[in-house]
Amino acid sequence: MENLALCQQLAVMKRQCPRPRLRKVDRWFWVRLSRVWSNWRRPLLIVRPETVVRWHRRGFGVYWTWISRRRRQWVGRPRVSPEVRDLIRKMAESNSLWGAPRIHGELLKLGIKISERTVSRLMPRRRKPPSQTWRAFLDNHVQDLVSLDFFTMPTATFRVLFVLIVLAHHRRRVVHFNVTEHPHGPVDSTPDGRSVS
């Protein structure tokens, strides 16, 4: 292998003495030799080993560019014609309740073969009305809002009373009020209308 490598370099040097020019065949030779012979760097005199590695990388890139260019012609979905794009837009605008599945079905009935995903991608985007803010929601529904509070209160005689208060928001007044010592027992009413147990 070493003799073969040296003979090849001598043949290149004999072609032009001041500065030998390498052909594509010479570059290909060193790239192939570097793949099969582990000690290829030692007899190399004309170029640096980094140059051979660069040739190998460049050849690898050219190969994959050639592969992808050949496949690019054959692989992929066909482009959607402008007439079909316009038809999808018109159908979506004139039938606002139709989604992509319905439009896709109608196109299939017309003999236009297109995927449902493509139809959904080509449909115009509808702007949703902005949702109201939390502050606007509270302002709009203040008549219907109430607050509940259930808490315990110790008395001076060390009894524990359970208190329930219901407040209306729009007038900030007490709608219902109840105090009991036993929350799961029977409820009695006081003379003024409040229920106490």
Alpha helical stretches, state H, 20-81 = 24-36, 49-72
Residue 43 lies in a domain: yes
Assigned domain for 127 exists: no
C-beta contacts of 28-33 below 8 A and 24+ residues apart: 28/59, 30/55, 31/55, 31/56, 31/59, 33/1, 33/4, 33/5
Angle of helix 82-94 relative to helix 100-109, nearest 10 degrees, comes to 130
**C-alpha angle 166-170-173 in degrees, rounded to nearest 5:** 40
| Spatial contact of 196 and 189, defined as CB atoms under 8 Å apart | yes
Task: Give per-residue pLDDT as tens, 107-158.
Answer: 999 999 999 999 999 998 877 777 888 888 888 888 888 889 999 999 888 8
pLDDT band at 86 (very low <50, low <70, confident <90, very high): very high
Secondary structure E strands in the chain: 146-154, 160-168, 173-180, 188-189, 195-196
9 within domain boundaries: yes
Do 92 and 147 reside in the same domain of the chain? no
Q: What is the mean pLDDT of the chain?
A: 80
Residue 129 inside a domain? The answer is no
pLDDT, tens digit, for every residue of 36-64?
877 777 666 666 677 777 777 888 778 77
Domain count, the chain: 3
- Sequence-distant (≥ 6) Cβ neighbours of residue 96 within 8 angstroms: 126
The crossing angle, in degrees rounded to 10, of helices 24-36 and 2-15 is 170
The residue ranking higher by pLDDT, 76 or 3, is: 3
Q: Do 17 and 60 lie in a common domain? A: yes
Question: Residue 140 belongs to what domain range?
Answer: 134-196
Residues 43 and 64 in one domain: yes
